[in-house]
Amino acid sequence: MSQRIKNALKNEVAQLKENGKSVGLAVVIVGDDPASRVYVNAKKKACEEIGIYSEEHALPGDTAEETLWDLIARLNGRADLDGILVQLPLPKQISEEAVINAIAPSKDVDAFHPVNVGKIMTGNFDFLPCTPAGVMALIAESGIEVEGKECVVVGRSNIVGKPMSMLLLHRHGTVTICHSRTRNLAEVTRRADILVVAAGRPEMITGDMIKDGAVVIDVGMNRLEDKKLAGDAHFESCARKAAAITPVPGGVGPMTIAMLMKNTVTSATLAYNAARGEV
What DSSP letter does each residue of 192-233 carry, written as one string?
-SEEEE-SS-TT-B-GGGS-TT-EEEE---EE-TTS-EE-SB
Q: Which residues contact 137 (CB under 8 A, 6 or more apart)?
A: 1, 5, 255, 258, 259
171 within 8 A of 147, measured Cβ to Cβ: yes
Among residues 43, 107, 149, 162, which one is catalytic?
43
Q: Is 32 a catalytic residue?
A: no
Query: Coil, strand or helix: which one is 52?
Result: coil
In whole angstroms, how far apart are CA 226 and each of 155, 229, 234, 267?
A: 25, 9, 15, 41
User: Which residue out of 87, 107, 108, 193 is catalytically annotated?
Assistant: 87
Alpha helices in 51-199 (DSSP H): 65-76, 96-102, 114-122, 130-141, 161-170, 185-189
DSSP code of 105?
Answer: G
Catalytic-role residue among 82, 110, 193, 232: 110
- C-beta separation of 184 from 209 below 8 A: no
At residue 85, the 3 state secondary structure works out as strand
Active-site annotation holds for 87: yes
| 212 assigned to active site | no
Rounded CA gap, 195 and 49, in Å? 32
Active-site residue set: 43, 87, 110
